[in-house]
Structure 1
Amino acid sequence: MAKPVAGSMAAVRRINTSLVLDALRAARGPMRVSALMDRTGLSRPTVEALTEALTAQGWLVESEGAPQPGRRSPGRPARTYEFNAHAGWVLGIDVGAHKVSVCRADLRGTPRAWARHPVSPSTPADERLDVARAAVDDVMADAGAGRIAGNGVDNGAVSGRVGAPDARPAPILAASLATPGVVGPPPHRVLLAPALPDWDEVDFALWARDFLPCPLHVENDANLAVIAEQAVGVARDRQDVVFLLLGQRLGAGIITGGHVLRGHNGAAGEIGYAPLPGSPHPPAGFGPLESSVNADAIVEMVTEEFARPGASTDSPLRRRFSAASDGEHVPAIATSAKEGDPVALRVLYRLCQRLAEGISPMLLVLNPDLVVLGGGISGVGDALRAPLRSALAGRLLFPPDLELSALGDRAVVLGAVHDALTRFEDTTLSVISA
């Protein structure tokens, strides 16, 4: 009988370790060894050895289980084990044209700290990165509560073993950054970002190396938004989803067959650049479709409605528009549409006709089960959803369900969190050796 080689034994041990960790991460509470045996199919000695090693490393928390009702426990209660969600952190970073948002989450993806700093479209790239660094510092300022047995960090790479217990704060184990524009394949440089000056010249890996103890993954913001909706939003259990990120720009995050569609250059979903028949030449850096349906286009449509012969000179919408500053016009439309203002409703009808004409070819090709409306303009709510559903119905063979984002302006940063969590699972957890 041939002796098992060391490599095969290590592989089996890694698989068994993964089975135990997966079972405990999926559990709603602590589990006994017997329950872990049932869940994993492993023997008692194997489970006991793995839980002991993982507890010593800080990945599990051990406690005494409560006695079972109706049964006498002559000895001490059975030990239970729970995945230590505070063994480390994952970071989601959203760097946009108007704001930088950061979320620190535990290893189950539960947000634990938030930071949000304003910027402007004209903010230089280096200053925008400084703001992002400050936001990361903010969310990590009180992160010392989680502890692990050593941080296992070595020059940007997280090792499987975490070493002997000490009192250092739990480490950042994975981080993802969301950005507007086209993000190419590895090394994930921004290839095109007309909304942000000099953004395509940034070396994100070099920037992050100074303060993050793990690699930084960079991804398009709409792609991360659709990941968030599938993980914790209205797209749960959906396998074919299009997320429309509609604000001053227009982009689509696409999940088809359960996987994010990125395209050869990372430009899948850049629907804002689609031609729109009859639309004027777009401003520099904007696509024809997005310049016809964005916030500026809405303001222009409202202005045209006010200029119609016989238009009211003292409507609530006109008063709201007169008092609104930049960024407040869309909420004024939303409020007026909910009140039944005819001008607001006509503008939303025109908007939805344009949007449906622009996105229907993409939807015919992809045939999604669900379209999610996100971004600033989605704040209009049901007053936007109903006319868009009607406009799409006559252009598609199988109109998809249409829902508003459940996550609001946190969709992108939460998508970054869940992307980071996936990378933690694929890297750190996959190489833990108990």
Structure 2
Amino acid sequence: MTDKITAVKGMNDIVAPDSAHWEWLEARVREWFARYGYRNIRTPIVEPLALFVRGLGEVTDIVEKEMYAFEDRLNGEQLALRPEGTAGVVRAVVEHSLLYDGPKRLYYMGPMFRHERPQRGRYRQFHQIGVEALGLAGPEADAELIAMAADLWRELGLQDVTLEINTLGQPPERQAHRQALITYFEQHRDQLDADAQRRLYTNPLRILDTKNPAMQALVEGAPRLLDHLGSGSLAHFDTVRRLLDAMGIAYRVNPRLVRGLDYYHHTVFEFVTQSLGAQGTVCAGGRYDGLTAEVGGKSAPGVGWAMGVERVLELLKTQQRLPSVPVPDAYAIVPDAAAWPQVMPVLRVLRAAGVSVLMHASGPDGLGSMKSQFKKADASGARFALIFGGDELAAGQVAIKPLRAGADGTVGAQTTRPLARVADWASELRAPSTPRTAA
């Protein structure tokens, strides 16, 4: 017997009925982005390795430990599966000169890849939905993007999602802060864990993001970036805060929020929840004005965020905010295979009229009995069974049997309708707006 092939660890199949929830969320998000004037962009899953080394930072966790990087065996090119979406979008904007006629507001959806230890809400293939605003330098763009996410949670009915914000200032200010951190942590070297020791001279800012409880007191006493910011950076951050206040968006300033990617400066933010255990970040982002230059383009401002689809869906599930799974309006019961030439044209007309119909078809043992077909019709969750029996077809009709109780709590009587005028009665089968769940 041939060994069964299974999915790669941490890379999951998304099957029905769960896939219906993915489609629902994607549709809601697309509609939401359209209200803000954002347009879709689709970039390759495989990108040049240099894009992420230069864009994300050579000493970030993603580049050092998590990225799926490989050599193209045909031409020796160094490639990588994308670990995040922003760098690829910025690369596409630069490559296609999309900013030639002004700023661009873009969104993307798709899989990302990081070699991490799989756990709840964290997988090796995970999915992000993100937005990027390129060519917009003002703090109002930061505030609008934060508001877009905050109001999306409200639209989805989510609770227990809080906003944390910070500013990373500009590169010279970060450099001064970096040196202050090195000096501080050198004085407490014996308290640094292995990760912190490794990052001390390459990326000391990431030490502030440690999850090691034994280092929390040390990190709390570290020099603060806010103390190194100039008037311009402070004014940008103050304006973002004033705009959030004006919109009534609650937030907490977290001076230890640094994000894990080198391209961020000025505003950074995270939406977090206590409902998902350790993987509490639902959405995160910030400003990255230097990234276009890092990938070889003309310097241009940018700001964006990305949300983890798996985490948002898990949160919706935890809070019982997911919609019911769609079910068909009708199930077509066909006792005799000889009836297909009469049945299938009728089903085409019904579907063209907006009716969802699940057609019974032959299995390994044929069509099966009427009793077994009715069981499948009931299990499908359909409201009606369409019975294409011999007597009905001989009379030029189809029998319509209600399978669910109506608004009055009773199941209606079986009726017949003429096959010659399907379009006239098709609307009787269409579902009401309230979604239903299959049994």
Do both share a fold (TM > 0.5)?
Answer: no
Larger relative contact order (C-alpha < 8 A, sep ≥ 6)? 1
TM-score bracket relative to the smaller structure: under 0.3
Based on CA coordinates, which of the two structures has the bigger radius of gyration? 2
Please give the TM-score of this superposition, normalised by the length of structure 2. Answer: 0.27
